[in-house]
Chains A and B, each alone.
Chain A
Amino acid sequence: MELQKSIKTIVLIELLLPLVLFIFGAYHGVMQVLYQSGVVRANSVAGIDYYQGLTAHGVINALVLTTMFAVALGYVVVCQQLKSRVSAAGGWVSLGLMVVGAVLAAAMIFAGKATVLYTFYPPLMAHPIFYIGLVLFVVGSWVPMWTWIPVYMQWRKANPGQKTPLGVVGIFSAFIIWQMATLPVAIEVLVQLIPWSMGWTAGVNVMLSRTLFWFFGHPLVYFWLMPTYVMYYTMLPKLGGGKLFSDFAGRFSFMSFILLSCPLGLHHQFADPGISTSWKGIQGVLTLLIVIPSMLTAFTLAASLEHGARLKGGIGLFGWWKKLPFFNADVWLFPYLFCGLVIFIFGGITGVVNASYSMNNVIHNTAWVPAHFHLTVGGPIFLGILGGSLLMITGLLKKPVAAPKLAMLVPYLWTIGVFIFSTGFFIGGLRGEPRRTNLGMTYLNPASPSYRPDWFISTHLGMIGGCIMGLAALLYFVVVVRSLLAKTDASLANTIFALPVSEPYHDEDVPAVRNFAPWVVVAVLLCAAAYYVPIHDILVNGSANAPGFSPNSPAAVDTVH
């Protein structure tokens, strides 16, 4: 059925607005590699300081773009697959809160009052409006699921015994994770940071806020991933010409993410003081378990693609690969998902390195880390968002995709760029190059006593890769703008836009993945077990009511106004 009109408008705004912001996000991505390699040797360019731009790059790309896309895709999948109307009022409230929140946070960043990076670690202090903007944005992103739950309950009542559509399972898993993950960060921001930034409290317990942040920060990255996973499981097999190899694998993976998102954030704090090694170890082990659903996903998607390729006459042990629509402009979405999957193999493996406890000593906070996450959030997730946005924007507006060949080439160009970028940053990380640092001013400056010539190759590879990524983003914008300017396609006028949905090849009904409730209950218990002792220790031992600091000066401040 056709999406109801108001929801259609909301979805279009949620897809287009973050893309507009992303113009700056992409611009500053390119600027950063220029600064870091010393090609641009300055504290700021065009009035934007390096660290200010880095804050915007993180907030726009990793928070606004990802979250709004998840909400937009959620609306389309839920409405379409449950064949239901949802609350338009809820949609508008959610959109309003997210837009106001994003605008407030962005305004503070561009005013130079919130140069605290997107992790906003205290005791660096931002203007209170920055934190308030983040709260409004997150609360706005909570609302949609609350309006989908009654619709889903009704659907279950009306369709007894029927399996929940796989896409809906994925979307609900994503937002269940989001709901669980955002509670601790809400406590951090509401109880600790806002009163402190208003000058009402003298200081914060910094270890507590770091721990609450990473309680949120790791599930956040899985929340980014889920919409792309939904596209992988429900669309990719069909685009490849076949069926989804196993419906169970999809449900099992989604449900596993609910379980294995939250109780493991301490692996981001392996290098932190104030937390015992045993709890770091326990959460490290829990982190690695995500390998199981991830490898199952890799197997299932490869098997699904093989199924499609063999239907089209592909033969041989590997020869069937040639039958996949790599360069077919009619299936321009295929490379967005396929390239993302290839990139994700490397993102996943390097993620295992990060989570491997003492191995973290080598790479913690080095350039290795952005090299890794540009192969996850900057790879499959980002390409999924680009492809999915173009699909939904053109589909909902009943317009053809302008320049489909160019659209098809964008993910390949991005893949080349991100691989060069990450190779450089991986090398740099292993040589101790710090992440998020304006290296060009000192470490990459031959005139500085801190000059490190052994970081030249790594930062310059990063610079070349980053520029190619910037070019790919630019070409993508050309496609979007030309599509928006194109005339409505008369042949599409009377059709109903629908996301492609793959049929299952194996469709076993496994009771364990039928209901969310047991997974959510176990997840909450696991969180309590994994975090009770570390947080207790921090509250008991952690002293330091740390006063706030502006990034501009070493003198403590009460507020940043």
Chain B
Amino acid sequence: MAINVLEKRALMGAIAFVAVSLGLIAYATWGLGINVPTCIPLQTKPFDQASVTKHDDKFYEVHYIARMWAFEPSVLRVPTGSTLDIYAVTKDVTHGLEIAGTNINLMVVPGAIANGRVHFTKPGIYTIVCHEFCGKGHQNMTARIEVSDSVTDAEVEGLPSSAGMKLLEAKGCLACHTVDGSASVGPTFKGAWGSTVQLSDGTSHPLDVALFEQIVRHPTTTTVKDYPPVMPELPVTDDELKQIESYLEGLQK
């Protein structure tokens, strides 16, 4: 091939650039041990409960559930120096799980398990961001990991524990209402029971059994001021409603 000598040099330069880049990538992968998520064979069914398991001192396995539009656990506190093996599955659409400021950056895809390992050397509050569009509440989908010297073992919030909480989860309420006071599509449940609620029709009532049932049974006609009228009518038995009510009653500020 009779190509120009300058052109040949440009080609050589480009090949050298690629070679150096590949060398650096190889070093990052095998030398520094920074890798991307791999395939976890799905012989076992994906887990359907969020959990934190202690394997060793400051070494935890955390199972995250991603759903429209929240993570469970929503708050996780671990001591400084902890290593977390993170596994995540989704209950609905594809989500992202990024722990800002770390190398954890995962896609949480239906039918597969996302996995990564993170080591927290510095104390601080680390934001977990859903970075894949997952519906109109996408910007609300966040959680946090608090790393500090003041805790000696892992603590969690936002895990289903009581019957009422399990129902809130099963009926899909938690997609739009939080239990930790943070903002979402609908008003938070935290501290809501007994508080005065302004309705769209201009009236105000304390949130009691009567108003709560009115909202659940007729979500399109009874709506809270400043919130979009998007709540669906969910099939809930009277018994279930009582369990939810007693759970909400206990969920004070």
Which residues of A does B touch, CB under 8 Å? 43, 49, 51, 54, 115, 117, 121, 123-124, 205-207, 210, 245-246, 248-249, 269-277, 280-281, 284-285, 288-289, 291-292, 294-296, 299-300, 303, 352, 356-362, 364-366, 431-439, 441-443, 448-450, 452, 506, 508, 510, 512, 537, 541-544, 546, 549-556
Q: Can you list the 3 inter-chain pairs with the closest CB atoms, starting with the nearest?
A: A544-B111, A432-B100, A434-B131
B36 touches which of A121, A205, A277, A452 (Cβ 8 Å): A277
Are A295 and B10 within 8 A (Cβ)?
A: yes
**B141 to chain A: closest CB distance in Å?**
9
**B115 to chain A: closest CB distance in Å?**
7
* A439 CA / B139 CA spacing, docked (Å): 6
**A229 to chain B: closest CB distance in Å?**
16
**B13 to chain A: closest CB distance in Å?**
7
Are B129 and A434 within 8 A (Cβ)?
A: yes
Known: A123-B94, A299-B7, A549-B92. A450 touches B36 (CB 8 A): no
Kindly identify, within residues 82 to 139 of chain B, every residue whose CB is under 8 Å from any CB belonging to chain A: 92-94, 96, 98, 100-101, 103-115, 127, 129-136, 138-139
Question: Is B250 positioned at the interface, with any CB of A under 8 Å from its CB?
Answer: no
Are A358 and B35 within 8 A (Cβ)?
A: yes
Q: How many inter-chain residue pairs (CB < 8 Å) link A and B? A: 240
Are B105 and A435 within 8 A (Cβ)?
A: no
**A257 to chain B: closest CB distance in Å?**
15
Are A365 and B132 within 8 A (Cβ)?
A: yes
Knowing that A248-B3, A296-B7, A537-B39 touch, tell me 15 more A-B residue pairs with CB under 8 angstroms. Answer: A210-B109, A273-B106, A274-B111, A277-B35, A292-B11, A292-B14, A299-B6, A299-B7, A356-B25, A431-B100, A442-B140, A449-B181, A510-B3, A542-B112, A550-B135
Are A450 and B133 within 8 A (Cβ)?
A: no
Are A206 and B107 within 8 A (Cβ)?
A: no
* A361 CA / B33 CA spacing, docked (Å): 13
Question: Is B210 positioned at the interface, with any CB of A under 8 Å from its CB?
Answer: no
**A425 to chain B: closest CB distance in Å?**
13
Known: A292-B15, A512-B1. A51 touches B93 (CB 8 A): no
A432 touches which of B11, B22, B38, B127 (Cβ 8 Å): B127
Kindly identify, within residues 12 to 48 of chain B, every residue whose CB is under 8 Å from any CB belonging to chain A: 13-15, 17-18, 21-22, 24-25, 28-29, 34-42
- Whose C-beta in chain A lies nearest to the C-beta of B68? A554
- Whose C-beta in chain A lies nearest to the C-beta of B37? A273
- Whose C-beta in chain B lies nearest to the C-beta of A512? B1
Question: Is B221 positioned at the interface, with any CB of A under 8 Å from its CB?
Answer: no
Question: Is B223 positioned at the interface, with any CB of A under 8 Å from its CB?
Answer: no
Are A541 and B28 within 8 A (Cβ)?
A: no
Are A358 and B11 within 8 A (Cβ)?
A: no
* A434 CA / B100 CA spacing, docked (Å): 9
- Whose C-beta in chain A lies nearest to the C-beta of B43? A541
* A248 CA / B10 CA spacing, docked (Å): 13
- Whose C-beta in chain B lies nearest to the C-beta of A436? B133
- Whose C-beta in chain B lies nearest to the C-beta of A52? B136
A-B CB contact pairs (8 Å), 22 listed: A210-B109, A248-B3, A273-B106, A273-B109, A273-B112, A273-B115, A291-B14, A299-B10, A356-B25, A358-B103, A438-B138, A441-B140, A442-B139, A442-B142, A450-B183, A506-B4, A508-B1, A537-B39, A541-B39, A550-B135, A552-B135, A554-B92
Question: Is B230 positioned at the interface, with any CB of A under 8 Å from its CB?
Answer: yes
Residues from chain B with a CB closer than 8 A to the CB of A275 are: 38-39
Residues from chain A with a CB closer than 8 A to the CB of B130 are: 434
Residues from chain B with a CB closer than 8 A to the CB of A295 are: 10-11, 13-14, 17
Question: Is B67 positioned at the interface, with any CB of A under 8 Å from its CB?
Answer: yes
Size bin of chain B's contact surface = 35 or more
Question: Is B76 positioned at the interface, with any CB of A under 8 Å from its CB?
Answer: no
Are B111 and A546 within 8 A (Cβ)?
A: yes
* A438 CA / B192 CA spacing, docked (Å): 27
* A259 CA / B220 CA spacing, docked (Å): 56
- Whose C-beta in chain B lies nearest to the C-beta of A303? B6
Residues from chain B with a CB closer than 8 A to the CB of A303 are: 6
Residues from chain B with a CB closer than 8 A to the CB of A292 are: 11, 14-15, 18
A285 touches which of B10, B22, B35 (Cβ 8 Å): B22
Are B11 and A296 within 8 A (Cβ)?
A: yes
* A276 CA / B10 CA spacing, docked (Å): 35
Residues from chain B with a CB closer than 8 A to the CB of A206 are: 94, 109-111
Residues from chain B with a CB closer than 8 A to the CB of A123 are: 92-94, 110
Question: Is B228 positioned at the interface, with any CB of A under 8 Å from its CB?
Answer: yes
Known: A206-B111, A248-B3. A552 touches B230 (CB 8 A): yes
- Whose C-beta in chain A lies nearest to the C-beta of B1? A510
Are A205 and B100 within 8 A (Cβ)?
A: no
* A271 CA / B130 CA spacing, docked (Å): 13
Are A207 and B42 within 8 A (Cβ)?
A: no
- Whose C-beta in chain B lies nearest to the C-beta of A448? B183
Are B136 and A551 within 8 A (Cβ)?
A: yes
Known: A123-B93, A206-B94. A437 touches B138 (CB 8 A): yes
Are B14 and A277 within 8 A (Cβ)?
A: no
Are B17 and A273 within 8 A (Cβ)?
A: no
Are A296 and B172 within 8 A (Cβ)?
A: no
Are B131 and A366 within 8 A (Cβ)?
A: yes
Known: A273-B37, A277-B35. A359 touches B28 (CB 8 A): yes
* A372 CA / B4 CA spacing, docked (Å): 33
Residues from chain B with a CB closer than 8 A to the CB of A556 are: 92
Known: A51-B133, A210-B109. A449 touches B96 (CB 8 A): no
**Residue of B39, B41, B94, B142 with most partner-chain A CB within 10 A:** B39
Question: Is B248 positioned at the interface, with any CB of A under 8 Å from its CB?
Answer: no
Residues from chain B with a CB closer than 8 A to the CB of A121 are: 93-94, 132
Are B172 and A554 within 8 A (Cβ)?
A: yes
Residues from chain A with a CB closer than 8 A to the CB of B115 are: 273
Are B105 and A361 within 8 A (Cβ)?
A: yes
Residues from chain B with a CB closer than 8 A to the CB of A508 are: 1-4
